[in-house]
């Protein structure tokens, strides 16, 4: 199976070489890697070009956007810029961050999963961050969720869900829409990806409100948003984030922010989320 990778990047000179090195050392090489340099002010572009000189399947795309780092919209707009440069001759499309180190067998294993079952729509491993000199699981999500830092989609699934939404919550709505369309989402605990920059390290107060807005735009409703906000605040070990999330939810509701899903899909999502809660409780 042929796989293409799109990597949005912004001021990643510290990490991008490590990411690209881990990709060119894969046991099954990618057919194409497009790195989108989104208005970097450091040496990110130069580092990418050095790799491109040595590896013909790597290319650089330049993009100029707002310097403000809000989760979701900026990174997915950069992804889309890179994706639009690709042809349609792929089986798997991958969105990856520019601060990762993949194990050498990562994509060989990903491909094997896709080949094992035609109904598998997404596959991914788990993120590990460095703490006290060792890499430990970055435990921010459930074990059946694929982190936004590394998403691999079967082409048919990717197109059916409408690609990636340029908004916070994109890496949740994609999986929920997969399930809506009866695709399977597979996580593999043997695939340990080193995440060199902890999630949300550069997010500001406005970005934290965006999480609550995302819960609204996913069609969660207040009850599910409240539960999800408590859980996420606890997992991040910052209880007061709960208030930011709730404020964000009501801000989106008061302004009638458009949903990322249809009413039918929102109804499915609420039912699915409540069912998952019941399974954990009982």
pTM: predicted TM-score of the whole model, two decimal places: 0.89
258 and 170 in a common domain: no
Q: Where are the beta strands (DSSP E) in 160-242?
A: 184-195
Please provide residue 190's backbone torsions phi and psi, each rounded to the nearest 5 degrees. Answer: -80, -15
The reported pLDDT for the residue numbered 92 is: 98
260 and 139 in a common domain: no
171 and 63 in a common domain: yes
Q: Which residue has the higher pLDDT, 68 or 167?
A: 167
Q: Is the pLDDT score of 44 beyond 90? A: yes
Flag whether 200 is in a domain.
Answer: no
d(CA 192, CA 50): 27
Range of the domain at 96: 3-195
Q: Final residue of a domain: which of 164, 195, 226?
A: 195
Beta strands 120-131; 100-101: pairing state: unpaired
Name the residue among 128, 141, 134, 137 with its Cα closest to residue 102: 128
Q: What is the CATH number of the domain that holds 130?
A: 3.90.550.10
Instruction: State the average pLDDT for the chain.
Output: 92
69 and 17 in a common domain: yes
Flag whether 209 is in a domain.
Answer: yes
41 and 75 in a common domain: yes
Q: Final residue of a domain: which of 177, 195, 213?
A: 195
| Contact in structure between 233 and 196 (CB atoms under 8 Å) | no
Rounded (10°) angle between helices 221-235 and 241-254: 150
Name the residue among 148, 139, 143 with its Cα closest to residue 280: 143
Once rounded to an integer, what is the mean pLDDT over residues 141-149?
87
Q: Final residue of a domain: which of 174, 195, 216?
A: 195
Q: Which residue has the higher pLDDT, 175 or 279?
A: 175
221 and 185 in a common domain: no
180 and 54 in a common domain: yes
268 and 187 in a common domain: no
Once rounded to an integer, what is the mean pLDDT over residues 242-269?
94
190 and 137 in a common domain: yes
Name the residue among 148, 176, 155 with its Cα closest to residue 72: 148
Highest mean pLDDT among 22-31, 125-134, 197-206, 227-236: 22-31
Count of domains forming the chain? 2
| Contact in structure between 96 and 6 (CB atoms under 8 Å) | yes
- Provide the pLDDT confidence category of residue 231 given band limits of 50, 70 and 90: confident
């Amino acid at each position: 199976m042929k796989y293409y990778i799109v990597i949005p990047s912004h001021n990643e000179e510290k990490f991008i070489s490590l990411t690209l090195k881990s990709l060119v050392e894969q046991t099954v090489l990618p057919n194409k890697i497009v790195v989108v340099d989104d208005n970097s002010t450091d040496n990110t572009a130069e580092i990418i070009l050095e790799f491109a000189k040595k590896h013909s399947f790597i290319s650089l795309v330049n993009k100029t956007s707002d310097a403000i780092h809000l989760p979701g919209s900026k990174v997915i707009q950069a992804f889309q810029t890179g994706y639009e440069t690709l042809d349609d001759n792929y089986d798997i499309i991958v969105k990856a961050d520019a601060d990762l180190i993949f194990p050498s067998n990562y994509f060989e294993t990903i491909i094997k999963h896709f080949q094992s079952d035609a109904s598998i729509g997404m596959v991914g491993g788990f993120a590990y961050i460095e703490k006290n000199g060792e890499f430990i699981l970055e435990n921010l999500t459930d074990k059946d969720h694929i982190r936004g830092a590394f998403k691999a989609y079967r082409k048919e699934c990717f197109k059916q869900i409408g690609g990636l939404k340029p908004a916070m919550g994109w890496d949740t709505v994609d999986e929920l829409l997969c399930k809506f369309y009866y695709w399977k989402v597979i996580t593999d605990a043997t695939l340990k990806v080193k995440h060199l920059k902890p999630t949300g390290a550069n997010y500001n107060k406005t970005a934290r409100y965006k999480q609550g807005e995302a819960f609204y735009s996913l069609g969660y409703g207040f009850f599910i948003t409240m539960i999800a906000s408590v859980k996420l605040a606890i997992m991040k070990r910052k209880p007061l984030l709960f208030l930011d999330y709730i404020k964000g939810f009501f801000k989106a509701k008061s302004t009638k922010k458009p949903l990322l899903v249809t009413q039918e899909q929102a109804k499915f999502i609420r039912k699915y989320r409540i069912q998952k809660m019941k399974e954990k409780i009982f």
